[in-house]
Structure 1
Amino acid sequence: MLSSSLLGFAGVALVVVLAPGPDTFLALRYALNRPRNGIAAALGMMTSIMGWAALAGLGVAALLQTYPAIHQGIALVGGAYLLYLGIGSLIKAQFLARAAAATARTTTRSATASATEYTFFQSVRAGMISAALNPKLGLLFLALMPQFIPVGSNMLGSAMLLGGIFALMGFAYLSLLTAIAARAMAWFKSPTVGIWLEGVSSAALAIMGAVVFIGAFR
């Protein structure tokens, strides 16, 4: 591939990666639960991103142009999934807030957070599903990516290369976010602050889910 194509796509990918979105808040939500879970969620997202890249290389964009209802269906399911994650986590955060208020001030957060502990596999799965059902990622790879692949190049190989660039940039950014979240939690060392941060990230997920869901009807 031409270096100009790689640099052009890298620039677009950087803007998309740095823009706050559902995947960003999902990784942050799981990182607040446990730092390694944030990394696991990011790994799951990058796995789905490579899947989107493979679909772009196989020419699925033409299928979506012929059947736009497929893209709308992805947006509906993706929005509903984010709503499910956000509202469910928000309810748990409120439950923990009430439990923390009822305990002594010396009680640590770990004593009240057991109800929201996630396994590594659960975090990976959540990240994979979120990225797989993110309609904006679908549009990026299926509609925009082919424009950066020179005529005559191997479509699948070029798409996987560009997808790898995006995945590396995305994983590096989300890993940095996870590290910042972990340091913030260690610095605050307050059950109330920790639960408040979890509630905020969960609410952001729910709001973005609603936006994606409603946008599917436009």
Structure 2
Amino acid sequence: MSLDAVLAFCALCLLLEVTPGPNTFLVLRHSLHGARTGVVTALGSALGALVWAGAVAVGLAALLERSAQAYQAVKVAGGLYLVFLGVRTFWAHRRRGGGSAPGAAAAAASLRGAFGAGLVSCVLNPKVGLFFLAVVPQFVPAGSGVGATLLLGAVEAGVALVYLSVLSQVGARAVDWIRRPRVTRALDRVSAAVLTAFGVGTVVSAR
């Protein structure tokens, strides 16, 4: 695999990442509670990309391409998970009484929860699987084994981790302004609504 091919693949991975989606929004949301939480979310998303690479390498992800039912099932599951995250965010806001910014970061999301949200959101996003199915084979040299696919999966995961980590730093930099009580209350409501809208839209489009 030539260096030019790897660089071209990196460019395509970056294009995939900069396209707004659930993972981008999740990283930004968790970054409100600190850059570290955002980076952990990004790490979970990057691991999710590796899971998809492994699925493609062993042929499991091809089921999405051949079976509309399988694609819809994954899409619905992903949509329902986003709805769950949105509802959970809403109830967390209600439990705080809509008050000031969460003084304890764990009140909004623990590091484990942030990692899990990034991982599950990516694993239940069939568009990531289709990206690997459609794009990766074009960069895998003829006769290469599973290792080449996993290597490209690692490249995609690395690009995702770097981009989303930078995004989390940007989000965390805005904390001083965001943590104003009025702004925090508004963002809690908006984040709950957006996550739910992502989920409902995904479920509806699957039909």
What TM-score comes out, normalization by structure 1 length? 0.84
Q: Distance in 2 between matches of 1:99 and 1:10?
A: 42
Contact 2:32–2:178, Cα closer than 8 Å, also in 1: no
Tell me if the contact between 1:33 and 1:116 (Cα under 8 Å) persists in the aligned partners: no
Listed one character per residue, the Cα deviations across residues 96-122 of structure 1 (whole Å, up to 9, x for unaligned) are: 4x542xxxxxxx6345x6783322111
**Match among 121, 130, 148 for residue 158 of structure 1:** 148
Post-superposition offset of 1:33: 3.0
1:105 matched to which residue of 2? none
| 2:60 alignment partner in structure 1 | 60
Residue in 2 that maps onto 1:168: 158
Is structure 2 residue 19 aligned with structure 1 residue 29?
no
- Higher Rg of the two aligned structures: 1
CA distance in 2, matches of 1:25, 1:33: 14
2:133 is aligned to 142
Q: Alignment partner of 1:152: what SS?
A: coil
- Give 1:65 deviation, angstroms: 3.6
Amino acid at match of 1:147: Q
Alignment pair present for 1:123 and 2:104: no
1:86 to 2:86 alignment: yes
Q: Measure the CA separation in 1 of the matches of 2:36 and 2:102.
A: 16
Cα offset, 1:49, TM superposition: 0.6
CA distance 1:163–1:115, shift in 2 (3 Å): closer
In structure 1, how many angstroms separate the alpha carbons of the residues matched to 2:116 and 2:160?
Answer: 17
Identical positions, percent: 36
| Equivalent of residue 132 in structure 1, options 120, 123, 129 | 123
Q: Per-residue CA shift, 1:120-156, capped at 9, x if unaligned?
A: 11111111111110111111112332222121222x2
2:13 and 2:102 map into 1 onto residues whose CA distance is 37
Q: Where do 1:34-49 residues align within 5 Å? A: 34-49=34-49
Would the aligned equivalents of 2:102 and 2:108 in 1 still touch at CA under 8 Å? no
Q: What's the counterpart of residue 71 of structure 2?
A: 71
Distance between the aligned counterparts of 1:205 and 1:3, measured in 2? Answer: 38
| CA apart distance, 1:7 | 2.6
TM-score (norm 2): 0.88
Distance 1:192 1:95 in 2: 16
The one-letter amino acid of 2:17's match is V
Aligned partners of 1:182, 1:87: CA distance in 2, in Å?
A: 23
Mapped pair 1:181 → 2:171 = yes
3-state SS, counterpart of residue 60 of structure 1: coil
The yes-or-no answer on 1:9 pairing with 2:9 is yes
After superposition, the CA RMSD in angstroms is 2.2
Among 79, 101, 104, the alignment partner of 1:109 is 101
CA distance in 2, matches of 1:51, 1:188: 34
Question: Which residue matches 1:216?
Answer: 206
Stretches of structure 1 that go unaligned for 5 or more consecutive residues are 101-107
> Could you say what secondary structure the match of 2:143 adopts?
coil
1:38 and 1:175 in contact (8 A); partners too: yes
1:84 CA displacement: 1.1
Greater CA deviation, 183-192 or 156-165?
Answer: 183-192
The alpha carbon displacement at 1:188 in A equals 4.5
CA distance in structure 1 between the aligned counterparts of 2:72 and 2:135, rounded to whole angstroms: 18
Conserved? CA contact 1:64–1:71, under 8 Å? yes
Cα 1:188–1:55 shift into 2, 3 Å: closer
Once the two structures are overlaid, the 10-residue window that deviates more, 196-205 or 120-129, is 196-205
1-structure distance, mates of 2:105, 2:115:
19
